[in-house]
Structures are given as structure tokens and as C-alpha cells.
Amino acid sequence: MGKMSLKDKIKSIFAGRFDLLKVDELKDEFFNILLESDVSIETTEYILAEFEKKADEEKRMKRDNAIELLKEILLRILNDARTSFNFLKQDKKPFIVLFIGINGTGKTTTVGKLSYFLLKNGKTVAMGASDTFRAGAIDQLKIHGENLGVRVIYQGMGSDPAAVAYDTIEHAKARKLDYAIIDTAGRMQTNRNLMEEMKKIKRISKPDLTILTVDAMAANDAIEQASTFKKEIGFDGLIVNKMDTDARGGSIFSIAHQFRKPIYFIGVGQNMQDLIPYDPKYIIDKIFS
Ligand SMILES: Nc1nc2c(ncn2[C@@H]2O[C@H](COP(=O)(O)OP(=O)(O)OP(=O)(O)O)[C@@H](O)[C@H]2O)c(=O)[nH]1
Ligand SMILES: [Mg+2]
């Protein structure tokens, strides 16, 4: 059962049984499939409590009704992470977006993807290569810039990332660009120096929006990382990447439930167009279809 997706697991719950199922039996079944799908304990317990609240009048229920109820609860969790914030309706110029997150969660790729999204919608953008720490990071962003026809502001490896962010914003101001989007070096939540450096980048760039990227596959680790970033640096919302490779598929529920922050987009691949606006109904329909 471990390798099945959340979708397959839900389909398999008491499949073929048309008699009435005990609520306790259903709860045990849900408990296992949610945990195996990377939903955290805390969120799983919340889901089961909600299920019991709604189900307790009928201590037995039909399989399809139980699944329908689970679907409603899951949709409500995802809906709580929706936001009315609209990237395309910002009057401030440049609107400054800062990306933060641990290594490999997709910051640099998402800076490119978000620029692509904005360009496609008629906006103008500059990107700032404030990851001056990892070899290759500047080139990685420059390649995105070349492909997209977007100016990348950079200095040499080891230069001050806050200065690069500052230059990016100055460039965007001078050119009257709509957005300045700033990449930063990945850092573990435990690395004090890098966390301090991140605070400085944020202080100097004064972002209008700070976005934490998380990896859907990192599941419970992502929750832990986010709490530290929330406490140390602060962020406005999230982009959940690698939803396409997350076979288990349950971490989005813990992320939505436990962060209590909006999710703007999900990343569903490595290409520039693989960033889709966060849409709970789309995610739920994929699981329950
Ligand atoms: N399948 C898939 N791969 C992704 C997605 N987002 C990013 N990646 C890949 O994940 C890897 C890491 O992405 P980066 O954008 O370099 O991550 P980063 O956060 O900038 O990493 P550091 O700079 O090392 O901190 C790259 O190979 C990306 O192509 C996604 O949504 N789906
Ligand atoms: Mg990077």
C-alpha cells in the first residue's frame, strides 16, 4: 500500500462493499491512508476529528458518503490557504518579490517561472541574482534571463547579496519596470550566519512580498523548515514545488493546514510554464476523480 498515491488509496477504501460501514472502521482506514500519504499526524488528527463531528449522528455510513465527507473536509483545508492577493493587480512599481527557502526547493526555477507568468500577462520584470553563495547559481538565473528576455542583475560570486538586491530594485526603478524578483541562496533553517544574512537582504530590499518555496516531497520536514523561517525572517506566503513528482500527494494538506499562510502557486515541473495558480478544487478533483 505504501507506494500507492492518495488517490489510489482513497479509491481502494472498502471498495466493493455496499453495506453500511462503521464510523470507527472508516476512521482507522483514513488514519492509515492519510499518514501513508505524508499528511502529518497533526493534520490527520484534525481531519479525523472533523470527520467524526460530521459523521457522529450516523454511526454507520455508506462508503461513498464517507468518501464524499472526507473530500469536503480536505477541500476546506485547502481553501483556507487561498488568498485574494493577485500578482497581476499591483500598482506599486516596482513590486518587489523576495524568494527564500532551503536548498533545492525550487527558488531559482520559480523566480524564472514567476517572471514567465508575469511576462505572459504583459508585465515587465527584472531578476536579481542574490544567490552569490552557490557556484552556478548566477549562471542558472542568467540562463533563465536569456531564455525569457529578462534582465538579470548580478555581481560576482561571494559578493554581498543585499547589494545585488538593492541594485536590482534600482534598475527596476530606473526602467519603470513592474516587478523586481530576487533569488537568494538556499539555507538550512539551522544555519545561523545564513539566516542573519537573509534578514539583512530583507531589511535592505524591503520586499512587498516574501515567498517561501517548499518541496512537496519533503512533507513534514517542510513544516519544520517553514516554522523556523516564519519565526526568523517572516514570509507572506508559499509556493509548493514538485507537486508533479510527489507520488504520495498528501503533504499539501499539512502545508495548508499548519502554516496558516496563503499558497500562491504550485510547481508541477521543471519548465517555465510549470507553475500553476493554487486551485484547491483542481487538486481535490485530481485526487478524487
Ligand atoms: N519536477 C519538478 N522539479 C522542480 C520543480 N521546481 C524545481 N524543480 C527542480 O528542482 C531542482 C532544484 O531547483 P532550484 O530552482 O535550483 O532550487 P533552489 O531552491 O534554487 O536551490 P538552491 O539554489 O540550491 O537553494 C532543479 O533541478 C529544478 O529543475 C517542480 O515543480 N517540479
Ligand atoms: Mg537557487
- Based on the fold, state whether residues 188 and 262 are members of the same structural domain: yes
The number of domains in the chain is 2
Give the range of the structural domain holding residue 125, as residue numbers without chain letter. 95-288
Q: Mean pLDDT of all residues in the chain?
A: 93
- Please check whether residues 108 and 181 belong to one and the same domain: yes
Q: Is 270 in the pocket of ligand 1 (CB under 6 A)?
A: yes
Q: Is the CB of 244 under 6 A from ligand 1?
A: yes
Average pLDDT over residues 7-31: 88
Task: Please state at what angle helix 137-148 crosses helix 107-120, rounded to 10 degrees.
Answer: 10
| Residue 131 beta carbon below 6 angstroms from any ligand 1 atom | yes
Q: In this structure, is residue 88 part of a structural domain?
A: no
CB of 107 closer than 6 angstroms to any ligand 1 atom: yes
Angstrom distance (rounded) from CA 175 to CA 188 = 35
> For residue 203, is it within any domain?
yes
pLDDT at position 89 over 50? yes
Residue 191 in any domain: the answer is yes
Taking CA atoms only, the protein residue closest to ligand 1 atom 29 is: 270
The Cα–Cα gap between 54 and 50 comes to 6
Atom 4, ligand 1: which residue's CA is nearest? Answer: 270
**Residue 45: CATH number of its domain:** 1.20.120
Q: Is the pLDDT score of 1 beyond 50? A: no
Q: Do 102 and 26 sit in the same domain of this protein? A: no
Say yes or no: CB of residue 241 within 6 Å of ligand 1. Answer: yes
Say what the pLDDT of residue 94 is.
Answer: 98
Pair 40, 112 in one domain: no
The pTM of the full predicted model, rounded to 2 decimals, is 0.94
15 and 121 in a single domain? The answer is: no
| Cα-to-centroid distance, 3 and ligand 2 (Å) | 30
CB neighbourhood size of 91 (10 A): 6
Q: Which ligand is nearest to the CA of 109?
A: 1
For range 15-24, the mean pLDDT: 86
Give the pLDDT of residue 5: 85
Enumerate residues with CB within 5 Å of ligand 2 (an ion): 107-108
Closest C-alpha residue for ligand 1 atom 12: 104
Longest CA span, the chain: 70
Task: Check if 106 has its Cβ closer than 6 Å to any atom of ligand 1.
Answer: yes
Atom number in ligand 1 closest to CA 131? 23
Assess whether the C-beta atom of 139 lies below 6 angstroms from ligand 1.
Answer: no
Query: Do 173 and 134 share a domain, yes or no?
Result: yes
- Comparing 261 with 228, the larger pLDDT belongs to 261
Q: If pLDDT is split at 50, 70 and 90, which confidence band does 3 have?
A: low
Same domain, residue pair 73 and 101: no
